């Protein structure tokens, strides 16, 4: 009898073991299998939340088939304590395993509402936008200029009150340290005020995720540390035999490259022109250095460059001496004239090997480069023809009552070196 009972018990145990193994296998497969979600959704994970609440949210949104299996899978993978707060885009058909990875890996939120403050050369713009999970594209809700004394759009005030709104500050290449400080001081999402302007060129243009209430001084320090770190590494990796004695001179040259072209593939070529002119003892003769000498980076020059500016008279009159005007100075100006980005710094320290000494706009957004003055003069003549044609077209459009190109989209005036006149 006992043998019979033991045999039955063993059989029951084996069957139960197989059943448990089957359930475990099924659960593991369910956890890693394609999910039921037909379209992407935005999952909001509040600060202080836990995986029980998240599993219930996911079930309500139709993203998972079983909250229990989801939580068991998280426990088994030992990620229970790794949940991050934020707004996360859950793709269609995402498995529970993939969703776990999305909400535990950290980093910037991937959906929801965000406010982006863009500090540009001509203006600072705040954009309020929300990611549409269906298209994975941002939909603009509102925009305004923070530096203007005007009421904020109601959409901005609404998202500022939402706990899961994310914030970014984007500093464009080519702005000045003064422009960055003025813009940051005007942002109501930041605290404090900075009065001392960091050395020109020493803030890294980049995108910075921020939290409301962050100190302006702390963000400035982060930007400065980032630029110092990258410049030091780029200086170590520089090409040989450059006519640059210090990293500061490299930063100065990079700032001129930044102001002279926005075409990525041209940066190293423009840098080669500067290096070639320095090595041959030619003056650089670039208009942005004239402008910086007059403004010191504090805003835009609201007039055309005059002959007296080219001669250095205005800079000397305003500041006592000529420090930046490369039509008058030999070699590099006294310091950077803007914030160069990483690509411009790399180009300055690793220029292309060319014999170019001149360049001028070619009418397509890029430049025509030349080795000789005769070639350059021919390029200048073609550019003048383009300018004349555009002026005639603009005049005809104005006469017909058509709107002209918006000021902030117009192509900037190009400098032509004195040798090319």
Going along the chain from its start, the domains and CATH numbers come out as 23-104 (3.30.1490.480), 113-232 (no CATH), 240-420 (no CATH)
Give the span between the Cα atoms of 421 and 416, in whole angstroms.
Answer: 7
DSSP 8-state secondary structure symbol assigned to residue 197: P
What pLDDT shows up at residue 405? Answer: 40
pLDDT in tens, 94-140: 899 998 998 888 666 677 888 999 999 999 999 999 888 777 788 88
Provide the pLDDT for residue 128.
Answer: 92
CA 179, distance to chain mean position in Å, is 16
Q: What helix, strand, coil percent values describe the chain, rounded to 5?
A: 45, 15, 40
d(CA 35, CA 298): 55
Classify burial at 322, counting beta carbons within 10 Å of its beta carbon; exposed 0-12, middle 13-18, buried 19 or more: buried
The pLDDT assigned to 25 comes to 61
113-119 and 166-171 beta bridge pairing: parallel
CB 347 within 8 A of CB 268: yes
Rounded CA-CA distance 238/277 in Å is 19
Tell me the C-alpha distance between 379 and 416, whole Å: 10
Tokens read off for 30 = 């369910």
Asked whether the beta carbons of 332 and 252 are under 8 A apart, the reply is yes
Radius of gyration of the chain (CA): 30
Please, what sign has the CA dihedral across residues 200, 204, 207, 213?
negative
pLDDT in the model for residue 404:
46
Which residues, in sequence order, are bridge partners of residue 208? 169
Partnered with residue 143 across adjacent β-strands are 127
Residues 6+ apart with CB under 8 A from 322: 293, 312, 315, 316, 328, 329
Distance CA 351, CA 122 (A): 28
d(CA 383, CA 47): 58
Between CA 62 and CA 177 the distance in angstroms is 49
> Beta-carbon neighbour count of residue 373 at 10 Å?
13
Cα distances from 311 to residues 278, 354, 420, in angstroms, run 20, 29, 16
The predicted structure's pLDDT at residue 3: 55
What gap in Å lies between CA 178 and CA 191, rounded to an integer?
Answer: 18
CB contact at 8 A, 192 and 215: yes
pLDDT, residue 412, reads: 37
The ranges of the chain with pLDDT < 70 are 1-27, 106-109, 402-421
Contact 87, 109 (CB under 8 A): yes
C-alpha count within 13 angstroms, C-beta hemisphere, residue 378: 6
Q: For strand 358-361 and strand 41-45, is the pairing parallel, antiparallel, or unpaired?
A: unpaired
Label each residue of 101-126 as H, E or C. Answer: HHHHCCCCCCCCEEEEEEECCCCEEE
Per DSSP, what are the bridge partners of residue 88?
43
Helix (H) or strand (E) holding 284: none
Sign of the dihedral through C-alpha 107, 109, 115, 120: positive
CA 363 to chain centre: 27
pLDDT of residue 308: 93
203 within 8 A of 179, measured Cβ to Cβ: no
**Cα–Cα distance list, 48 to 53, 81, 82, 83 (Å):** 10, 11, 12, 9
Tokens describing residue 191 = 């605290």
Cβ atoms within 10 A of the Cβ of 266, count? 19
């Amino acid at each position: 009898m006992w043998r019979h009972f033991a045999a039955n018990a063993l059989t029951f145990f084996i069957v139960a073991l197989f059943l448990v193994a089957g359930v475990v296998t099924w659960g593991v497969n369910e956890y890693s299998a394609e999910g039921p979600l037909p379209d992407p959704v935005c999952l909001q994970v509040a600060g202080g939340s836990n995986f029980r609440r998240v599993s219930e949210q996911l079930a309500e949104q139709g993203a998972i088939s079983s909250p229990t299996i989801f939580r068991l899978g998280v426990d088994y993978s030992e990620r229970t304590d790794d949940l991050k707060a934020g707004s996360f885009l859950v793709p269609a058909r995402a498995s529970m395993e993939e969703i776990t990875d999305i909400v535990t890996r950290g980093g910037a939120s991937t959906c929801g509402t965000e406010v982006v403050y863009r500090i540009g050369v001509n203006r600072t713009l705040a954009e309020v936008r929300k990611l549409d999970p269906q298209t994975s594209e941002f939909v603009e809700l509102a925009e305004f200029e923070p530096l203007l004394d005007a009421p904020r759009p109601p959409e901005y005030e609404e998202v500022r009150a939402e706990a899961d709104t994310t914030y970014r500050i984007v500093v464009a290449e080519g702005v000045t340290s003064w422009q960055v400080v003025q813009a940051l001081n005007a942002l109501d999402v930041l605290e404090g005020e900075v009065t001392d302007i960091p050395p020109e060129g020493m803030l890294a243009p980049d995108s910075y995720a921020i939290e409301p209430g962050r100190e302006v001084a702390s963000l400035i320090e982060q930007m400065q540390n980032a630029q110092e770190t990258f410049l030091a590494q780029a200086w170590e990796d520089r090409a040989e035999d450059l006519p640059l004695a210090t990293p500061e001179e490299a930063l100065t040259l990079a700032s001129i490259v930044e102001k002279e072209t926005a075409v990525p593939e041209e940066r190293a070529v423009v840098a080669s022109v500067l290096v070639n002119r320095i090595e041959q003892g030619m003056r650089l003769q670039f208009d942005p250095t004239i402008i910086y000498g007059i403004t010191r980076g504090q805003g835009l020059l609201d007039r055309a460059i005059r002959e007296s500016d080219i001669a250095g008279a205005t800079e000397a009159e305003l500041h006592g001496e000529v420090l930046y005007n490369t039509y008058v100075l030999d070699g590099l100006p006294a310091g950077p004239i803007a914030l160069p980005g990483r690509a411009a710094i790399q180009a300055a320290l690793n220029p292309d090997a060319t014999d170019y000494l001149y360049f001028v706009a070619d009418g397509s957004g890029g430049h025509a480069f030349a080795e000789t003055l005769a070639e350059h003069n021919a390029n200048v003549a073609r550019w003048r023809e383009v300018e004349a044609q555009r002026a005639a077209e603009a005049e005809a459009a104005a006469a017909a009552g058509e709107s002209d190109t918006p000021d902030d989209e117009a192509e900037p005036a190009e400098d032509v070196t004195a040798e090319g006149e």
